[in-house]
Amino acid sequence: MKFFIDTANLDQIKDAQELGVLDGVTTNPSLMAKEGITGRNNILKHYVDICNIVDGDVSAEVIATDLQGMIKEGEALADLHEQIVVKVPMIRDGVKALKYFADKGIRTNCTLVFSPGQALLAAKAGATYVSPFIGRLDDISTDGLNLISEIRHIYDNYGYETEILAASIRHTMHIIDCAKLGADVMTGPLSAIEGLLKHPLTDIGLEKFLADYNKGN
Ligand code: G3P
């Protein structure tokens, strides 16, 4: 399973990179705004800064919602750095843009996916990644994990190579459940990744090992 971090915060990206388990970064306009990164030039520079920290794919989102606009923006984003993956929303022109980018060899992440049908369309259009937002489904009393399971089933039926990028991960159990269901990638906050580390028996066991070692010294 690939681990992506879902943030535009450079300190958190550095922390995750230093942990040695980071495979990429996802961002979106809201995450950029949260870090106070606004204006096209600042945002583009920030993408390059992120690429220079992480060894892996960095999703950069188009803002346009029409085909020509998405193509223009997506090509400019892809030209920024070889690690950039163009993030395209699941809308009608987005599907056309996914196909256009696939034909041109530009890698894509289809975002804002909330149904198996949308995921099927993204794969048909040649998306590199599809991003089902599981936390936001949970927020409205719909089982986000079930969507991961349905997409896995559909993709396996036909051998689609589009990678399932479980997004809107909110906590550590989401990561474990997505791993059980066969999501190819998860993207979430650093806190959710760090939660994987924790077990009280590890702490108790280590404390005892060290105490016993120190008895003889
Ligand atoms: O990767 C998608 C993500 O940024 C959305 O997360 O927590 O805002 O639903 P959230």
In sequence order, which ranges of the chain are alpha helices (DSSP H)?
A: 10-19, 29-34, 40-53, 67-80, 92-104, 116-124, 134-139, 144-158, 172-181, 190-194, 200-215
Assess whether the C-beta atom of 167 lies below 6 angstroms from ligand 1: yes
| Closest residue by CA, ligand 1 atom 3 | 168
User: In which band, very low, low, confident or very high, does the pLDDT at 213 lie, cut at 50, 70 and 90?
Assistant: very high
The rounded mean pLDDT for the chain is 97
Residue 60 in 3-state DSSP?
strand
pLDDT tens per residue, range 115-126: 999 999 999 999
Mean predicted confidence (pLDDT) in 101-116:
98
Residue 23: CB atoms within 10 Å: 17
| Closest residue by CA, ligand 1 atom 1 | 167
Half-sphere exposure for 21 (CA within 13 Å, toward CB): 13
Q: Are 109 and 101 in contact (CB under 8 A)?
A: no
Is 87 a catalytic site residue?
Answer: yes
Active-site residue, selected from the candidate residues 14, 34, 45, 87:
87
* pTM exceeds cut of 0.75: yes
pLDDT tens per residue, range 9-40: 999 999 999 999 999 999 998 999 999 999 99
Assess whether the C-beta atom of 136 lies below 6 angstroms from ligand 1: yes
Assess whether the C-beta atom of 133 lies below 6 angstroms from ligand 1: yes
- Is the pLDDT at 216 greater than 80, yes or no? no
Mean predicted confidence (pLDDT) in 158-187:
98
Which residues are registered as beta bridge partners of 3? 186
SS3 track for 163-210 = EEEEECCCCHHHHHHHHHHCCCEEEECHHHHHHHHCCHHHHHHHHHHH
Assess whether the C-beta atom of 6 lies below 6 angstroms from ligand 1: yes
User: In which band, very low, low, confident or very high, does the pLDDT at 8 lie, cut at 50, 70 and 90?
Assistant: very high
- Name residues whose C-beta falls within 8 Å of residue 199's C-beta, 6 or more positions apart in sequence: none
What is the gyration radius of the CA atoms in the chain, in angstroms? Answer: 19
pLDDT tens per residue, range 79-92: 999 999 999 999 99
Mean predicted confidence (pLDDT) in 144-171:
98
* Ligand 1 pocket mutation pick from 113, 130, 136 by most atoms within 8 angstroms of CB: 136
Assess whether the C-beta atom of 56 lies below 6 angstroms from ligand 1: no
- How many angstroms separate the first and last alpha carbons of the chain? 42
